[in-house]
Amino acid sequence: MKAIIIDDERYACGELEYMLKEINIDVIGTFLDPLKGFDFVLKTKPDVVFLDIDMPKISGIELALKIQAQLPKIVIVFTTAYSQYALEAYKAYPLDYLLKPIEEERLRKTVSHIMKDMDIQRESVVQEIHINLFGKFSTTCGDSHIKFTTKKAFELLSYLLCNTNTYIQRNEILRMLFGKEDISKALNNLYVTMYRLKKDLAAAGVHKSQLFIRDDYMVEIQDGICDFIDFQRFVTKYAKIDHNNIDEAAAVIETITGGLLSELDAEWICEIREWTQIKAEDLVMRTALYYISNGKMNQSEELLTKLINFNPISEVGYKKLLDIYIDTNQFQKYSYYYEKYVKLMYDEFACRPDIKYVRTAKKIYQRKSLQ
């Protein structure tokens, strides 16, 4: 394991170097000047950087963020004589935080942890990840569910995923997720929650190539991992459904198993939920119309019944479904959904149903009377 030490105190730097070499760690560089240390880190790409926090020119926390922006997989371990830096240090998501004077046993545990993580990364095979935001929230990596340390970590991940198409401001996260706390406490809680979230994902075996949360809170995520992200990308990319994307459209619709994060009761989700419902209805309607134009009535019927289950007050969904039953002479199904449509119009919209469907219902009733 290759290590670099950056600490403006010569004695502390030398002492740590000696302790690391005693446990067979290859210290490839020690720097009193943090900026020179930064350049050397980028050049040599070590496994771990031991960083003092309180340094001139630039703080260790700022330096760690700069390093991670260039080398996201690098391990950061903070060293400091001041315990008050602990919470602030979490903004850089370090693997550990060592208080000076550093105890040998404590250092051994940290190094053991680093080496264990490195062995896991070398041996692990990238497993499939699935994050479902439609219906009940669920996350799996391989055959196991991803466990989150706290409920806030799960909500933070949900918030970031739901906002991948917009620039996320830190103050907005603080307001939406930690709104009742004072700004200082909220900020610390955000850093700690992000730290826990990243540790939970790493512990579950999620690779950064699959899902990576950047320092600006934007999420880089592969296709096929999150149902909502795939849905969002599809409806943004395609304004028209045709033979080139019909299979992808059907696959995306298949993932819509319920409302967006249906069990989450939070202010921030309401507007996104409404946008999703509108876009989902539009996608289903465009796909159903494609099927109808190609004579695939069964596929169209299946989609429209799914839409009605997803959005029980979809007037346009009911109407198009009734049209299919008129065109295919499926009068029993027509009568069943017509009753639901009438109830919807009176109960939800306080208006009469379209006269076209009323007349068709009367004709069906008359035919039954004559039989």
Q: Give the DSSP letter of residue 220.
A: E
Residue 109, CA distances (Å) to 106, 121, 231 in order: 5, 18, 44
| Whole-angstrom distance, CA of residue 269 vs CA of residue 317 | 24
Q: Report which of residues 163 and 86 the model is more confident about.
A: 163
Name the residue with higher pLDDT: 25 or 122: 25
Instruction: State the pLDDT confidence band at 369, using cuts at 50, 70 and 90.
Output: confident
Q: Are the C-beta atoms of 291 and 326 separated by less than 8 Å?
A: no
Q: Give the residue, 167 or 250, on which the prediction is more confident.
A: 250
The pTM is what? 0.70
Q: pLDDT-based confidence at 242, cuts 50/70/90?
A: very high
Is pLDDT at 93 greater than 70 in this prediction? Answer: no
CB 238 within 8 Å of CB 279: no
Nearest to 147 by CA among 208, 89, 87, 197: 197
The phi, psi pair for 148, rounded to 5°, reads: -105, 135
User: By the 8 A CB rule, do 337 and 345 touch?
Assistant: no
Q: By mean pLDDT, which of 42-51, 72-81, 167-176 is the weakest?
A: 72-81
Which residues, in sequence order, are bridge partners of residue 77? 50, 96
**pLDDT computed for residue 208 by the predictor:** 81
Helix (H, G, I), strand (E, B) or coil at 364: helix
CB–CB of 330/297 below 8 Å?
no
Asked if the peptide bond before residue 101 counts as cis, ω within 30 degrees of 0, the response is: yes
List, in order of start, the domains of the chain with CATH numbers. 2-123 (3.40.50.2300), 129-221 (1.10.10.10), 227-370 (1.25.40.10)
Model pLDDT, residue 34:
94
